[in-house]
Structures are given as C-alpha cells and as structure tokens.
Structure 1
Amino acid sequence: MKVVAVETVRVEDFPNLLWVQVHTEDGLVGHGETFYGARTAEAHLHETVAPYLIGKDPLRIEAHNRALHGYVGYSGSGAETRARSAVDIALWDLLGQATGQPLHVLLGGMTRPGVRTYNTCAGPAYVRGASGQKVANWGLAEGRYEDLHAQLHHPDALAEDLLASGITAMKIWPFDPYAEAHDGALITPAELAEGLEPIRRIRAAVGDAMDVMIELHALWDVPTASRIAHALEEYAPFWIEDPVRSDIVDGLSAVAAATPTRVAAGETVAGVEAFQRLLAERAIGVATVDVTWCGGLTVARKVADAAAAHGVPVAPHDCTGPVALTACTHLSTAAPNAILQETVRAAYLGWYRDLVTELPAVADGHITSLTGPGLGTALLPDLVDRPGTVVTTSR
C-alpha cells in the first residue's frame, strides 16, 4: 500500500481547525486533525510533509513520525509539530482500516470500557473563531450548554445541571480577567476573593459531589500562581491546571511544591523528552497530553507510558475538534493510567456533530471509544462542498 495524495481541509466557520486526509492507492483515506494556526500548518504539510510521504508505505508510522520530526528536531508545538501530529493520527487511522481494528485495540486493547469525563465549561463559540483564549474571545452568551457564561454568573446552578446529567467533574477559569489586568504579576485581595467565589458557590450548592478543576491558562508568574493555589486549598480543587508556562525554568515544580493540590499541565507540550523533564522535576501530577499538538498518537502513547513509570496519570486534552476527541478517547480507554478524558458538552452535543460522521458516546459521565476500524469516524461528505471550505491536494 502506498500514499498517493495528501489533502487538507479548512472550513470558514472553524478557522483554527485543519483536517488532513491521507489517500492510498487502495482507496483508503486516513483522517487527522490539528488546531491553531491552521494555514501555517497547512503550508508545512504541502511544502514538506506531502513530498516526503507520497509514494511511501503509510503503515511505517514510527519511521514517518521520526522522519517528520525535522532536520534538527522540532522541540515545540509549532506548525511543524502540529502538522506532523495530524498526519500521524491519519496514519494510525489507515492502520486501523487496513487491519479492520479500532485504534484502542492497536494501542493495546481497552483497559476499561469507558473513561470518566470532565466538562470544560466553555460555550459553543469559545475560541472557535479567534486565535487565543483572551477574555475578548470568549464569545459569551446565554443559552443551553453556554457553560462559560454559566460558570461566571451562576456556577452553582451549572454544577447542579452537570450532576443531573451524570457529569461529576468540571473545569472553570475565573481568574483570567485579573491575569490580563496585571500581566500575571499581581492579584489584589479583592480580586482573589472574587476569583474564589465560583468554586465557593459550587461547594455550597453540591458539596464534594463535584470535582472542580481550576484552569489558570499559564497566565501567571510563579509567586502569584502559588498564592492563588494556596487560597484555593480550602475548597479542595481536583487539580490546578497550567498555573505558569511549562517552559519557565522550574516554574511548574515550584508551584507544585507550594501546594498539596496536584498540578496538571502538558496540553501544549510537544515530544516525550519535554514530558520526561517535567516528570523528573515532579512538576506535574497529571499530564494533559494533546494528540494533535504533541506529535500525534505515536508520541502521546509514549507520554502515557512515561507518566505511568513515574506514577502519574494522564488526562488527554480536548477543547479543539471532533477528530482530536475521537483519537484521545481511543488512547484514554487503552492507557491504564488515564484518569479522565476532557470533554466540552457544548462541542460534542453541538458543532462537532456538524463536522464528522460519528462521535464517541458520552453517558453517565463516561466516554466510550468508537468500535469501527481505525478512528471509526470521518469528515462528513458534504463538508468539502460547503461555502468557504478550502481543499488543497498534493499528489
């Protein structure tokens, strides 16, 4: 079997998303996805990846992942790594289709039938059409599954609603406006109290029935992040996520040492080596690896193994797209140290369904992998014909 074409798909309504379709001479099509800087990753795919891959056996996945790591190695999650990640997912999809097996079987088989989910409390418009998570890009509105508006204005009712649907863990980010106001270097006592108010209200409404994650979006310096972490302790958050940038020297490990609350990080970290450093420094208590940014499933499964060797769980990231969620779920059901799978109900009950043929089932707060060959999903056939869709093919 040989690769005969590499195709990219961008849709006007989702400018951050890029899909890759790898075509073989046998008529199989492998699907991949990445997020952020879509046009830049697209350019790299057609300039560098396609000329390398066309004519080769797509099932030599490890060899291709290593070759596409670059001449001197791309150490970050830039466009080259995001492009490589998307292609890697597509090659795993092809392997599954060629062998008639779902990806979780190829990754070692299910270690459990489903994985507990947590709801990232974003809304349908959250960063969908903007390149960043600044407050100005939040797309706040009221309505069903408008969970970002709800986390800010009635977090107690939101927690009760999630519990009623079987979801027992939720992630919120009430401190971001103060980070923007002070460039992450200061939070006043009044701002700290205001930031704590949503989790206080959640605890008052539902007690410990809901696990609450606090997202800090790597917006803070080490002393201020440590101060916030300490103030949160009385409310027993499940974890604090990305309190500081992962590339700050000893930054995450300093925050981790300052609080008994576990620190989660890794969604924008690329490569096993970078995760190994964080694990060796005891900087993270949860590895939030993202298969569309880290180097693909080939890298993500190694990250899961490396984390397991350090006694650390993984909770794969998805706040991006439907192929990412599908791939992550295969990994989460196979990896024995996957503690949670991130989901966004506004996405998987909403716009994800406008893009792909199938999605993993979410019920009673758990997600289960698709059982069809490979990923078990594909882009909807009409996607390429929609107004504003750009399809580029290298042969």
Structure 2
Amino acid sequence: MKIDRAEVIVTSPDRNFVTLKITTDDGLTGLGDATLNGRELAVVAYLTEHVVPLLIGKDPHRIEDTWQFLYRSAYWRRGPVTMAAIAAVDVALWDIKAKAAGMPLYQLLGGASREGVLAYGHASGKDIPELFDSIRSHLDQGYRAIRVQTGVPGLKSIYGVASNAAAEGNTGRRYDYDPAQRADLPVEEDWDTRAYLRHLPSVFEAVRAEFGPELPLLHDGHHRMTPIQAAKLGKSLEPYDLFWLEDCTPAENQKALRLVRQHTTTPLAIGEVFNTVWDYQTLIEEQLIDYVRSAVTHTGGISPMKKILDYAAQYQIRSGIHGPTDISPVGMAAAVHLDLAIHNFGIQEYMKHGEMTNEVFQQSFTFNDGYLHPGERPGLGVDLDVDAAGKYPYQTAYLPFNRLHDGTVHDW
C-alpha cells in the first residue's frame, strides 16, 4: 500500500476548517484536522507547499516514522503551524490504518478503558440570570459538567460569553460560543483583572447556591492573570469546589505555576496553546497541574498526544483535551477515540457544531446523557462531503483581542 494523493480541503460552513485527505493506491482514505483558528491559511500553505509533496509514494502504515520525519527533517521544529500540519498527517494515517484493520481507531490504541467519555459544555451569561438560563439549557441537553463564564460589571465584552456582540461574528449564526469574527480585522474587547477578581467568586457562590454541590463546575481564566493574581483567584474559589481552573496564567514560563500551586488547592488545567511535550516538562514532573489541555489537532496528532498523556499518567495527571468548535469533527473524533482508550482520562471539552458543519462532516461519534462515544465504524468514523464543503468557501476570520482601560494590549 502506498499514498497515492493528498488533498488540502478548506471549507467554512459555520466557521473555517482545514482538512487533509490522504488516499492510498488501493482506495482507502484518511482525514486529518489541520485547523488553526485565525491562521488557517498559514497551515494550508505549509501542508500544500512543504508536506504533501513528501507524502506521495510513502507507506501509510509507517505512522511513527512519518511523524519523526516531518518533525525532524524540516530542522525548524515546534510551533502551532508546524504541529497542526503534522497532526493532520498523523491523524489521517491512523484513520487509514484503522480502516485497513476493519476496526474503530480506539481498538488500535488498546481498546476501551471506559463505556463513555464525560464531556463538559460551555454555559455563559452577561449577568447571573442569563448565566442560570444557560446552565439550565446545558443540563437539559444532557451535560453533566459545566464550564461557567460570565460578564464582569463595567466591561463591555468578555471572553466566553455567548451573548456578547463579538460572538455574533459568523454572519449572525451562533451556536454555543464562537468568538471568531468573520471580518477583515479582529474585534477589540476590554479587560480589567481587578474587577474580574472581585466579581468572579460571587458568581460561583450564586451558582452553587442555585445548582447545588454535586454539579462539576469549570472556569477558564484564558491566560489573563499574573501568577500572584492567579493564586489569589484559585484560593478565593476553593469554597466552590471547582473541577478545574483553566489557563489561570500564561504558562510558557512553566516555573510560574510553582507560585500558584503554593497558594491554592483548586485543580489547575493548562496547555490549550501548547504544541509539544517540551511545553509540559516542568509542569508534569513537578506536578504543578492536574489536567493536560492540549488539542490533538495542535499537538502533532494522536501519536504525540498519547505519549504526553502516558507521561502525565506517571504523576497522576489526567487528560482534558481541548475541544471547542474550531476543532473540526475530524479532530474531535480523534480526541474521543484517544479519550476512550487511555487510562488517565479526566474530561473532554465538547461544543456542538452547527448544522452546516454537520452537513460537511458526517460523524459516527455520539453524545448521550453527558457522555461521548466514538462509535464502531472503522477508522475515525468521520466522512467529508467534498461537494458540500465546496458550497462554503473560506472567509477571513479573526479571534478578538484585548486592551486595558489605558489602551495597553493584554492577553486575550
């Protein structure tokens, strides 16, 4: 068996997606997600101009060798563009291998370690009543764990709140929460950390009073705090028993998490913007985090993601794979197969895609009673309708950015 062709397909049903489709000389196909939200075309160029020519004629079963070749032969390693491109190849080859074996992918990863994959949804509101309505809606949809994001008094627009104007970017089509604005320039939002730190504990106090102590609650700080601010927030949220506090401070400086860890027992989830195991080395070895947050799509694929999670398992650190709607159904399926197989699974982020995305990507994974399952179709269990994809051409889209009240650009 040889790789006969590899195509890069760009489509924008509800938002932009980049998909690599690899076809073998005996007709098997594999799909890989290469979407990098707001920088999609950079990965398209990397794949089309630098990776696809290297794949033709190669043995698709040599997944590890292909991964090492793409990572090491370019000399310039790591980074989101490179790792998203490599991830697309890796996932597509796993899709082909599992189809050739006639098995769902999770069986090749060691088989199921659980019956289903616990998922959390995104509830949000500009104020407490709107937040409560959103939580109730997610509970009605079957979610058993809820991420809570809320507006802050005095701020016009804030990350994670679906009713913000900035979340209406997809020409009025909003599903759950999508901050990507279809426009020529990014939307500007505002931020005030002290106001946020004052307000957030009262939000969780109200949520616990309304919904009780058993519901797992999560929150995303989205890299906006200094280490000492993150420590203060983690400590102030301890009475409300969070499942995790995510991305409380920019973790590129891994040692900064030592300070946070010293001051709070609130569980920490880190890694949404990480791309390799090297980003985690100190965090895992010193047990400075509790959950690994990387996406299969942005971390080089299934092969390296499983290695990271096996490494984390030695330190009782669990998975919390990134899964918003800028991860395509292909990337989502890859995550769910991996979730089902590994021992140290924690929880899976899951935002439901829109109807047009589901038209382009037909999926076998299911969500029932709060749990995801990848299904039993051979491979990933996702097919791409090329004709449907062609109806939705790429549209320029950007994530928002933040400025403080004095005009300083801040982390978004």
TM-score, structure 1 normalization = 0.84
- Residue in structure 2 matching 1:104, options 106, 114, 125: 106
- Residue in structure 1 matching 2:50, options 48, 51, 61: 48
Aligned to 1:30: 30
CA contact (8 A) 2:125 2:134 kept: no
Matched AA of 1:213: L
Does residue 156 in structure 1 map to residue 132 in structure 2?
yes
- Residue in structure 1 matching 2:282, options 271, 277, 282: 277
CA contact (8 A) 2:14 2:356 kept: no
CA contact (8 A) 1:289 1:303 kept: no
Does residue 336 in structure 1 map to residue 336 in structure 2?
no
Would you say how many aligned residue pairs link Structure 1 and Structure 2?
358
- Structure 1 residues 330 and 387: CA distance shift in structure 2, 3 A: closer
Three-state SS of the structure 2 residue aligned to 1:45 is helix
Aligned to 2:304: 299
Aligned to 2:169: none
CA contact (8 A) 2:145 2:215 kept: yes
Matched AA of 2:32: G
Aligned to 2:177: none
Does residue 18 in structure 1 map to residue 25 in structure 2?
no
Does residue 168 in structure 1 map to residue 144 in structure 2?
yes
Aligned to 1:141: none
Paired residues for 1:355-394 under 5 Å: 355-388=360-393
Matched AA of 1:263: L
Aligned to 2:238: 233
CA contact (8 A) 1:163 1:210 kept: no
- How far apart in 1 are the matches of 2:242 and 2:280? 23
Deviation above 6 Å: which 4+ runs of structure 1?
none
Cα offsets for 1:346-383 (capped at 9, x unmatched): x2x64542321124111111111121111011112422
CA contact (8 A) 1:102 1:370 kept: yes
- How far apart in 1 are the matches of 2:296 and 2:226? 27
Three-state SS of the structure 2 residue aligned to 1:35 is coil
Paired residues for 1:113-262 under 5 Å: 113-121=115-123, 148-149=124-125, 154-174=130-150, 181=190, 186-188=193-195, 191-262=196-267
Cα offsets for 1:62-112 (capped at 9, x unmatched): 011111114475554421111111111111001111111111001010011
- Structure 1 residues 151 and 118: CA distance shift in structure 2, 3 A: farther
Offset of 1:13 from its aligned partner? 4.2
CA contact (8 A) 1:7 1:20 kept: yes
Aligned to 2:410: none
- Structure 1 residues 246 and 175: CA distance shift in structure 2, 3 A: farther
Range with bigger deviation, 355-364 or 37-46: 355-364
Cα offsets for 1:20-76 (capped at 9, x unmatched): 101111111110112221110011111211121111001100011111114475554
Matched AA of 1:279: I
RMSD (CA atoms): 2.4
Cα offsets for 1:176-199 (capped at 9, x unmatched): 85896457xx414xx433333432
- Which structure carries more helix by proportion? 1
Offset of 1:281 from its aligned partner? 2.6
Q: Unaligned 5+ residue runs, structure 1?
A: 122-147, 391-395
CA contact (8 A) 1:173 1:215 kept: yes
Aligned to 2:62: 60
Offset of 1:251 from its aligned partner? 1.8
Range with bigger deviation, 286-295 or 5-14: 5-14
Cα offsets for 1:148-184 (capped at 9, x unmatched): 447865222332333344322111333785896457x
Three-state SS of the structure 1 residue aligned to 2:121 is strand
Q: Unaligned 5+ residue runs, structure 2?
A: 160-188, 396-412
Cα offsets for 1:176-225 (capped at 9, x unmatched): 85896457xx414xx43333343222212111131110101112211112
CA contact (8 A) 1:174 1:196 kept: no
Offset of 1:270 from its aligned partner? 1.7
Aligned to 1:144: none
Aligned to 2:403: none
Matched AA of 2:5: A
Matched AA of 1:3: I
- How far apart in 1 are the matches of 2:35 and 2:127? 24
Matched AA of 2:53: P
- Structure 1 residues 59 and 336: CA distance shift in structure 2, 3 A: same
- How far apart in 2 are the matches of 1:213 and 1:74? 36
- How far apart in 1 are the matches of 2:130 and 2:15? 30
Matched AA of 2:68: R
- How far apart in 2 are the matches of 1:239 and 1:259? 12
- How far apart in 1 are the matches of 2:75 and 2:244? 32
Cα offsets for 1:294-316 (capped at 9, x unmatched): 11000111111111111111121
CA contact (8 A) 2:227 2:249 kept: yes
Three-state SS of the structure 2 residue aligned to 1:214 is strand
CA contact (8 A) 1:9 1:389 kept: no
